[in-house]
Amino acid sequence: MQPDLSDQVAIVTGAGRGIGRAIARAVADAGARVAVAARTETEIQAVADEIARAGGQALAVPTDLADEASLRALFAAAADRWGRLDVLVNNAGVGRYGPVADFPVEDLDQVIAVNLRGTFLCCQEAVRMMAPAGRGTIVNISSVVGFKGYPNQAAYTATKHAVMGLTKSLAVEAQPQGIRVSAILPGGVDTDLVRQARPDLDPAILLAPDDVAQAVMYLLSLSDRAAVDQIYLRRWSSKPF
């Protein structure tokens, strides 16, 4: 189902490529005005330009989620431009991989800073903006490793488990304010991050970024009576791989 988001404002993090780009395009195609956020300005500007050429409205906001001031400036920019926030999709994430015994602490700190702390602070800002209106939707993009574990992915997996804990708690806490909070846990998706983590995987067995975007749009199409706590999205085929 394609929701009508023509009167809504969305922020999508990690929107310069891959899953985030697909989500930003999807919400814009549904009519939302969207703030496109990521660290690389050229990438998010390209996405914003794509949205504008398709007749939508987009604002490219270079954002480093590991930097609190940069993160909070993203929400301020959306508020200054459009005066409201209806949808937040926390998609940005970084992956660092290796065995626990040899894992550099600086890599651990970076993964936590972006994947957990950044997601937490984005949720904080979103709740502050959404609560006065009494409605809003937050979608946290977790991962299959939000409930499973794989070798050499302990740091990344720990943060995605933490995102699930944040999502579950905030879903209950924000409900009286009319804010729905959900998580999407994709299996392998054909993105740069997955190719880095699992170069052994055949792209033919991976999801596409648009598959995750469609799951986001499903959540945004729900009636006011319904909520979905989490979606585990995996590759399906009528033929065995």
Catalytic residue among 150, 156, 218, 232: 156
156 catalytic residue (yes or no): yes
- Residue partners of 61: CB distance under 8 A and separation at least 6: 35, 36, 37, 44, 73, 74, 77, 78
Residue 126, phi then psi, degrees to nearest 5: -65, -45
**Residue 117 corresponds to which tokens in the numbers above?**
């702390």
Helix (H, G, I), strand (E, B) or coil at 88: strand
Separation between Cα atoms, residue 23 and residue 32, nearest integer Å: 11
Which residues carry out catalysis? Answer: 156
